[in-house]
Structure formats: structure tokens, C-alpha cells
Amino acid sequence: MAYLYDENGNYKGSITALPDIPQGRITILALLVGMGWFLWDTLPQWQTLPHPFKYIAAYYYYLVMKPLQWFGPIWSYASSLTGYKNLNYVLGGLAVTAYGLVGIPMLIGAFMAVLQLLRVQRYWRTILLLPAAIAASWFAFALTVNWLFQK
């Protein structure tokens, strides 16, 4: 708690948090980073998850993780093209930047083109987020049922 006084020393009030710190945003950011870290470690082992989480994790693994995992091999290949270490770093950086600026948008465009061919392009958010909603609902339902029928 902080106490506020004016320039004459008169008490003006108190505050419980610093006004410049968006604590809610920091908490949400920390939760998102933690969830992303958990998913980054869990999705590659999608084969070991129970049903239906296995299929949902495989969906996101191949849709999100596989394109992101290509940054490593592109860096490895491009940074070993010549015998000059510094030139290799520059080439690797350029190749990774090109993949990030050209390759990833092309993959997103290909995904949207497939959705357009299937005539479901306007539902892309639903197609992207529905498996996660199903997984969360399934988890909540299974947790509730297990809790209710616990002996």
C-alpha cells in the first residue's frame, strides 16, 4: 500500500497498487507464456496422449508446430554453406528471415486457399479454435465425472 501526500505534507489518500502497472495484462501474458511452453513440450508427444486429446494434439502439431520447427533445419543448412563462420551466420539469418517473412505467410495462404476451395473460408477461426474448445470441454467433463463418482 502506498500513501499519497501533497507538497505541503497533507495526506491525500492511499492506493493499493501502482497505477502504471497493468497487473491483469501481466498475469494473462504469464499464463499464455506458460501455456505455450507446456504445449511446445507436449505437442511433439501427441502419440502418447489419451483419446480424444491425441487427435486434437496431432491437428495442432501438424498445423502449427511443424512449420515452426523448420526454422532450425533452415538455420543449420544455411549456416553451413561456406567455410567462413561470419558469412554463414549472415546467410543463416537471411534464410531464417526469408522463411519467416515469405514461407510462413505462404503456408497460411495455402491453408486459406484450401479453406476457400472447401467453401468454408469465412469459418477459419472456428476451424482453428474448435478442436481446442472440444479438448477443454472434454477435459472439464471428464474431470467433473471423475470427481462425482470418486469413492
The string of pLDDT tens digits covering residues 8-50 is 888 888 776 555 567 778 888 899 899 889 988 988 999 998 8
50-104 residue pLDDT tens: 888 899 999 999 988 999 889 999 999 998 988 899 999 999 999 999 999 999 9
| Burial bucket for residue 138 (CB in 10 Å: 0-12, 13-18, 19+) | middle
Query: What is the phi/psi pair of residue 9, to 5°?
Result: 90, 10
Query: How large is the greatest C-alpha to C-alpha distance in the chain, in angstroms?
Result: 72
State the cell numbers at 65: 508446430
